[in-house]
Amino acid sequence: MSQEYEYPLIDGLNVDEIVILTDFYQSIEEAYENSSGIPRPKFMTAYNAFKRIIPSKMEQRQLEREFKEQSGYDAFQVIKTADRNDNKIIKVYGAKNGN
C-alpha cells in the first residue's frame, strides 16, 4: 500500500496505541486497495481496537475525517459496509480522491 500522506494521530498516545491506530488505517486502505478486500474479522478487530483507544465518538469522527482528507479513503464507508453485512470479505469500491 503506497501512501503519500501521514496517518492522523492525537497527542498523548503511547507507541502501542499508535500501532493500533496505524493498523486501523491500514485495514481501511486494504478494503479499498486489495483486489480481494480485507477479511471482515481482521477489519473488525482493528476497528474495535481503534474504538478502545479512542472511546470518544467525536474524536473517532475527527480522525476518520482527517484520514479521508489526507488519503481519499472513507473510513465510514468501510465501517458501514462491515456493519451492514456478514460477508467474510469487506471490499469497498471507489478510487481515491472521489474517482
Q: Has residue 95 got a pLDDT over 70?
A: no
Q: Does a structural domain hold residue 86? A: yes
How high is the pLDDT of residue 50?
98
Q: Does a structural domain hold residue 1? A: no
Q: Does a structural domain hold residue 8? A: no
Domain that holds residue 73: 15-98
How high is the pLDDT of residue 93?
87
How high is the pLDDT of residue 96?
60
Q: Does a structural domain hold residue 5? A: no
Average pLDDT of the residues in 36-45: 96
Give the number of domains in the chain: 1
Give the pLDDT confidence of 3-38 residue by residue, as tens digits.
688 999 999 999 999 999 999 999 999 999 999 999
Burial class (CB in 10 A: 0-12, 13-18, 19+), 68: middle
The average confidence (pLDDT) of the chain is 91
Instruction: Cell 488519503: give the residue.
Output: 71
How high is the pLDDT of residue 30?
97
Which CATH number do you get for residue 23? Answer: 1.10.220.80
Q: Does a structural domain hold residue 30? A: yes
Reported as a pLDDT band with limits 50, 70 and 90, residue 99 is very low
Q: Does a structural domain hold residue 76? A: yes
